[in-house]
Structure 1
Amino acid sequence: MIAERRLAVTPTDGAQVVKALDAQAALLPYALGVFAVSLPLFVWVGSFAANPLWMTASFVVFAINWGAFYAAVNWLRDEPSQDLARRARVHVLCGVLWALAVVQISIFAHGAGPARETLLLLATAGAVLCTFFAAPYMPGLLIIAPVAAAGPLVAQFSQTDSRLAGELTFGATALAMTLALILNRMFRRQHDLAIAHEQLVDERLRVLEEAERTARSKSDIVATLSHEIRNGLTGVTHVLAAAAGRGGRAAPSREQLNAALDAAQDLIAVLNATLDSETAESGRLQVDAHPFDPVRLVQDLTLLDKPHAATKGLELSVHIDPLLRGPARGAVIADALRTRQVVSNLLGNAIKYTVRGRVEVRLEVRGELIAIEVADTGPGLSSEEMEQAFEPFRRVERTGAGVNGAGLGLSLARQLARLMGGALDARSAVGVGSCFTLTLPFDPTAQSELEEELDTVTMEAPGAPRALRVLIAEDDALNAAMLRAVLEQLGHQVVHAQNGRRAADLAKIAEFDLLMLDHRMPVMDGPSAAATLRQGEGPNQSTPIVAIIDGEAEEAAEFLEAGADIILRKPVSVAGVARALADAAALDRSDPAKAAA
């Protein structure tokens, strides 16, 4: 059964042609050998002929064919022979030359006098040999065999006294053609098996390479997490223990708290970069292209990084193309949040690795692209170090010693740029500095639609009513505390349920302005709770539901099908929650369309 299934595999025509031409090329040395052995016999028989002029012409034709075959065999060793169509034409042409040599011998034999019959038999043998050596390649066989057989057949049937010999010649050439077709069929079956085998080997090699890549990736992730996260968490734990008064230690100072906060933020950055990199590597990372204002994005990020640059004594400046300053300045067509992530990484690296001098951010319109350049006067990188910097989980030892990071920023940034239809390039010189250029699609006639996505962290959601009564369902105590803190920071009242069943029961007896449900919870998960609320009766049957998920598309689809209105992905932030509240406030429950974001 396995063999039958393999035989049923239909290989590509190109692969079949390559196999056929390879088989014919393998027969070329034997063809040369056969004709070399036959030449003395032909010369001996031809010496009895009455037309020495034709005898000389025959030798010339043989010499031409010999040279052509020799050139073809050598040509097959060169690179131009990789052109499949050209190679097929050369094979057919060489076969036609030998067939024409057989025709020439037949013409010579027709006037050879006593040696006529013998020479025609030799011509018939030549036609059979041409048919045999053309068998691997079907188009060549269908062209070469008839041409080679035409010479001796016409010569034999041209005289009445050689009709019997003509019938024998016809039978010999017909039998040779039949056997050649059978041989061609056998070649094709062998080629099918060979191609199927090669495909199977290639597939296994791809699987093996994928397994090795996954193993290396997991090893790199474990090494990164064990180093960066363990060290960071240890420091944060010590500060928190001191704040809790454990071990009789004094309360931490403001500097220690700030250091712990920085370490926690670094840990979040490492985790996010690791997860995004793995998601992008597996092809599951998606981007949403919308028009947005690149000037505002760069100005916001520069404003956020100015204090950090000032503490290091660096000059941080922005240069904007005059074409981007007018009222109709166009917009970038890409994912605003992912673009912000890339530019933030480039700007953060420039400030992080630059000890003295300046950092410049330049925006320039280049036709249908916009270039965002981040240049610094840092240590610079050599060409080998630059290649290493773009490899995942690889850090340049000369410049990265003592600096936190997972070695994923540039690798992830380049992947995101490609996903958005752009590119990330770099040029650098050791001791001079580096310049990273992000290019993205640009439409000079478009207007920004997502400027609110590029705002810095806001404390309130524009358009959202104050003092909302919000019911959150979250089984994880830390996540619940974080979400409660964010909502209370935005000025809203919070009621917490530890699972979906408890949230559904509370929603039946109390009225809320918003429901926020986690996906994975004991007793009843988020989608089940959302479906229960939508199908049941009570004051919250039409209350907007914000679904909190880990980021999987399947989770979002399940929640939306259950009746959720808005999707909020973890880890939640003040800006993300504020946007969700604003979307919920603008949601019209009479509209059956969902406001999933």
Structure 2
Amino acid sequence: MIHNNDIGLLKRHLDREKAARQEAELILEKKALELYDANEQLQHLNDNLEQQIRDKLAELRESEQRYRQVIESVQDIIYKVGPDGIFTFVSSAVEKMLGYSEQEFVGKHFTDIVAPGYRKSLLEFYQTMLIERKDSSYNEFPVVAKDGRIVWIGQTVRLIESGSDVVELVAVARDVSDRKKAETELQTTQSRLSTLITSLQSGVLVKDEQRRIILVNQLFCDLFEIEQSPQQLIGTDYSQSTNTFKQLMEDPEGFAHQVERLIQNRQATTGEEIRMMNGRILERDYVPIFLGDQFMGHLWKYNDVTEKYLARERIRRSEEKYRGIMNNMELGLLEVDNDQTIVRSYERFCKMVGYTESELIGKKATDFLVVPSYLSVLEQQQRERQKGNAGSYELQLKKKDGSPVWVLVSGVPILDEAGSIVGSMGIHYDLTERKHLEEELERARLIADDARQAEKQFLANMSHEIRTPLNAIIGMSHLLFDTQPTNQQREYIDILKTSADFLHSLISDLLDMTKIEAGRIEMHARPFDLSGLLRSVQKVFDMKLQGRSISVDVMLDARITGDFIGDDVMLNQILMNLVGNAEKFTEEGSIQIMARIKKQDGPTNWIEFSVIDSGVGIPEEKLDVVFQKFKQVNPQGHKHKGTGLGLAITKELVEIQGGTISVRSTEGEGSQFTFTLPYARSDKKVEAEPQAPNSASVDDALKVCHVLVVEDNLMNQKYLCSLLNKWKIPFTLAMDGKQAVEEAKKQRFDVILMDIQMPIMNGYEATVAIRSTHNPNQHVPIVALTASAMLDQKNIAEEVGMDDFLTKPFEPVQLRTLLQRYAPVGLDTEAENVLDQERLTQLYGTDRVYAAEMFETFLNDVVPELLELPAVCLLQDRTVLAQQVHKLKPTFGMVGLSMLEHKMNSLEDKVRQGVDGKTLEIDCRDIVAKVNELIPVLQKEKQRFTHS
């Protein structure tokens, strides 16, 4: 239970708490009021502070705007750089000057924009400023603009310091490129001017307005005997130099007075002549120097003209001397001005044209002296004189009496003292008598030409008229041997043949010598097998000497290997002549053919050939005449007949090739003929001729070879027809060229034997007609059969389109060989005689399936394209033709047609060389014709590959 005392205590406690709480509330209320008042005051103060801050910020923004406007209004770049070299600020002018935006520029290192080569010096400049604490400094350097331009700037830099530290560098930069360019150009001009003046071949002195030397060269010092160098004189006062120089002059006072007069008058003067005590003569030019109206100084130029003066004096005295000489010589002098007006005529010229000097002076030479047809010559020479050139020319003049006079004129320009051309002088030599002589010589030359032409025609006629019947005689003698003659008849035929051969040799020697003397024999150098040629000569005489006790041996230098370049035809003729000569004078024993390399001179090998026999020999007193024309050295009388031209021709042929020939002989023991010829070694291997088919296949080919014989001579007709009948070769006979053309239109032949000299239409005309018109024989081989051995006839035969040339008289074996060369390949002939089997083996080996595919591709795809070649030629588009030929060429080798591949190579070369379209078309048709002939062979070979 609760006692009253406890209640009282509790009540008192609660009252005290209440009183304390009330007191605390009063205190809190009071504090709240104080806090409110303080907060009000603080809010008021804060509002005031914010207003002040806003006012200050507005003021700062306005100040910054004004500052930025000032900076941006300036055309120069204003920028700041920290001590580390990084841009911290840049004005907007940087974009206009260098192309960078402010954002692109700020943050770069200053060396990023400085031109290479100047970075180190600028870095040193800034380092010096920082070390020496220079408040302000100026320098210039090039920078690289954004577009790559080089811009020269000049900058003024100030240091911004805080205490003892440099916080940044502030700079103002200006574009000084134009000034720099002007300074460079000025320096270049000054340098050039200084170099020019210093290098002049004149003494030069330049003084300023105070007479101080600003430029002088070494030649000036040399002329006036000045010991100091030009560099030592620069800047020195030379106002008293006149007194020093005048002591060197012939007229000292006159020299000094003239110098002062020139300086006072300040008028340019040139060409003053000054004589020195030492005999030298100077020429002086004075030039006052002005810049606008302001006088800036003097330029003196001195030239040593002593030699020029002395030369002029010598010329003057020489002119006086030679004027008298010329007047007494057969040379007429005439002087004219630039308009061809005569200013002076010397006595001899007046006599030459029949006028007096007074009649000539003041008149134009072109008006009455020069023949009109020669005015153009004179005008051309006058143009040359205006260029300062001399010249010689012939001219026809008209004398006073109207008669012509021929003169040789040597014309030279006349110069005045300044070197200007004021006229010309002509020295005239009378050529009239020489001209008359030339006219007579020309008439004589024409007569001689007519005589040579007549001689040429005579030789051609003689060749034809003798060789034509001779051909029949030799030919018939061969045919008679086939008629089973009796021994006596055989002896008669042998005599007949020997006499005909002798006559043939006689005519050939005469014609060869005639051609040599007329200079119509030319060298045709080409690669050839030298050792093979010598073996061939040996074989020829081995066959000829069968039955006689004479051996023919060849001895070769071991170094003679490979091919050499030279005229193998000439060499063969030389050897045949020498060995033939040895054979005539050797009854028994031996004939040796020797060759050795005598010496080597760079690429040239001098090869020594010797033909040694064991015959009758030559008397010592006769050795000097063995090489003379029509000279025979025959100790046995007239046993060995001949023209006496063989060795003379041989000597000429050796010398034409640049060689020499000699002979050694002992009577009764034999002779040795030695000749030396220059040959170069060939890098190319001579292409081997395709191997001839065996005799059986030749006979088969000839039996199907259809020949057109064009011959008007009855004896030769009989000879040719008998041979062809004997060989069972089918032929058609035409009596003249016109009949040959008609026969060519009717049927195709394999070979045409064409005589040259025929009635109605000759062989050349008939060949042109066959080659130029569409007919079955347009591309068939045509062989010229002619009795003319003249080189001109062979050249014409080649030009009109003939393929070969057989000279009458010819032996049966020669005709047979020729027919074998052009006979078509028979279908029954084995393919190995036509196709390059070695190449086919290399390409395909034992892969016959692949080979069959290639042959089929060629026949089906290549041949049709090939047949279009003539049509491509007609289009006259060389680019297309070259592409087609180049494309088709390799395909021939793929089927073993190596010879046709060579022809395609030749065709491609001709296309590149620009050979005329007609020739290209003929070559194309020839290749097409040969491919058509060989198609059966290719088909047979393809079948062989397919079924094997």
The correspondence of residues 44-443 of structure 1 with structure 2, limited to 5 A, is 132-133=324-325, 178-179=346-347, 192-193=431-432, 195-196=434-435, 252-306=488-542, 313-324=549-560, 326=561, 329-334=562-567, 336-355=568-587, 357-365=589-597, 366-367=599-600, 368=604, 369-381=606-618, 385-398=622-635, 401-419=638-656, 421-431=657-667, 433-443=670-680
Give the AA of the match of 1:318: V
Q: Is the 8 A contact 2:779 2:922 kept in 1?
A: no
Give the AA of the match of 2:755: D
Q: Quickly say closer, same or farther: Cα 1:448–1:128, change in 2 above 3 A.
A: same
Higher mean displacement: 499-508 or 274-283: 499-508
* 2:923 pairs with one of 585, 591, 595: 591
Aligned positions, number: 426
1:445 counterpart residue number: 682
* 2:760 pairs with one of 500, 507, 523: 523
2:746 counterpart residue number: 509
Q: State the Cα deviation string for residues 513-542 of structure 1 (Å, max 9, x = none).
A: 222222222233323433444455554344
Give the AA of the match of 2:758: M
Distance 2:432 2:697 in 1: 66
Distance 1:381 1:392 in 2: 17
Q: Quickly say closer, same or farther: Cα 1:449–1:273, change in 2 above 3 A.
A: farther
Q: Quickly say closer, same or farther: Cα 1:137–1:582, change in 2 above 3 A.
A: farther
**Structure 2 unmatched ranges of 5 or more:** 1-312, 334-342, 354-404, 409-427, 461-465, 825-898, 904-920, 928-948
Give the AA of the match of 1:510: Q
Distance 2:543 2:790 in 1: 36
2:293 counterpart residue number: none
Q: Is the 8 A contact 2:542 2:552 kept in 1?
A: yes
Q: Is the 8 A contact 2:475 2:719 kept in 1?
A: no
**Structure 1 unmatched ranges of 5 or more:** 1-98, 104-125, 142-173, 222-227
Q: Quickly say closer, same or farther: Cα 1:129–1:353, change in 2 above 3 A.
A: same
How far is 1:346 from its partner?
0.3
Identical residues among aligned pairs (%)? 23
Q: Quickly say closer, same or farther: Cα 1:418–1:446, change in 2 above 3 A.
A: farther
Pair 1:470-2:707 in alignment: yes
Q: Quickly say closer, same or farther: Cα 1:318–1:400, change in 2 above 3 A.
A: farther
Q: Quickly say closer, same or farther: Cα 1:514–1:215, change in 2 above 3 A.
A: closer
Q: Quickly say closer, same or farther: Cα 1:257–1:197, change in 2 above 3 A.
A: same
How far is 1:351 from its partner?
2.0
Distance 1:386 1:212 in 2: 35
Q: Quickly say closer, same or farther: Cα 1:547–1:208, change in 2 above 3 A.
A: closer
* 1:500 pairs with one of 701, 724, 737: 737
* 1:578 pairs with one of 809, 813, 817: 817
How far is 1:183 from its partner?
8.6
How far is 1:503 from its partner?
2.8
Q: Is the 8 A contact 1:316 1:360 kept in 2?
A: yes
Q: Quickly say closer, same or farther: Cα 1:532–1:425, change in 2 above 3 A.
A: closer
How far is 1:218 from its partner?
13
Asked which structure has the greater CA Rg, the reply is 2
How far is 1:372 from its partner?
2.0
Distance 1:136 1:378 in 2: 73
Distance 2:532 2:758 in 1: 40
Q: Is the 8 A contact 1:519 1:525 kept in 2?
A: yes
How far is 1:349 from its partner?
0.7
How far is 1:194 from its partner?
5.8
How far is 1:301 from its partner?
1.9
Give the AA of the match of 2:677: L
Pair 1:546-2:878 in alignment: no
Distance 2:744 2:448 in 1: 52
Give the AA of the match of 1:277: M
Distance 1:556 1:214 in 2: 17
Distance 1:218 1:503 in 2: 26
How far is 1:495 from its partner?
2.3
Going by fraction, where is strand more abundant, 1 or 2?
2
Q: State the Cα deviation string for residues 192-244 of structure 1 (Å, max 9, x = none).
A: 356557767888999999999999999999xxxxxx99xx99x999999x999
Q: CA RMSD in A?
A: 5.5
1:82 counterpart residue number: none
Give the match's secondary structure for 2:498.
helix
Q: Quickly say closer, same or farther: Cα 1:305–1:500, change in 2 above 3 A.
A: same
Q: Is the 8 A contact 1:381 1:434 kept in 2?
A: yes
Q: Is the 8 A contact 2:474 2:809 kept in 1?
A: no
Q: State the Cα deviation string for residues 458-497 of structure 1 (Å, max 9, x = none).
A: 9899899442111111111232344445556766322222
Q: Quickly say closer, same or farther: Cα 1:251–1:499, change in 2 above 3 A.
A: farther
Q: Is the 8 A contact 1:376 1:435 kept in 2?
A: yes
Higher mean displacement: 472-481 or 501-510: 501-510
Q: Quickly say closer, same or farther: Cα 1:198–1:476, change in 2 above 3 A.
A: same
1:9 counterpart residue number: none
Q: Is the 8 A contact 2:525 2:566 kept in 1?
A: yes
Give the match's secondary structure for 2:579.
helix
Q: State the Cα deviation string for residues 90-136 of structure 1 (Å, max 9, x = none).
A: xxxxxxxxx99x99xxxxxxxxxxxxxxxxxxxxxx99777534667
Distance 2:451 2:625 in 1: 20
How far is 1:312 from its partner?
5.5
Give the AA of the match of 1:300: S
When normalised by structure 1's length, the TM-score is 0.55
Give the match's secondary structure for 2:532.
helix
How far is 1:322 from its partner?
0.3
Distance 1:182 1:309 in 2: 83
Q: Quickly say closer, same or farther: Cα 1:552–1:418, change in 2 above 3 A.
A: same
1:24 counterpart residue number: none
Distance 1:426 1:517 in 2: 43
Q: Quickly say closer, same or farther: Cα 1:527–1:207, change in 2 above 3 A.
A: closer
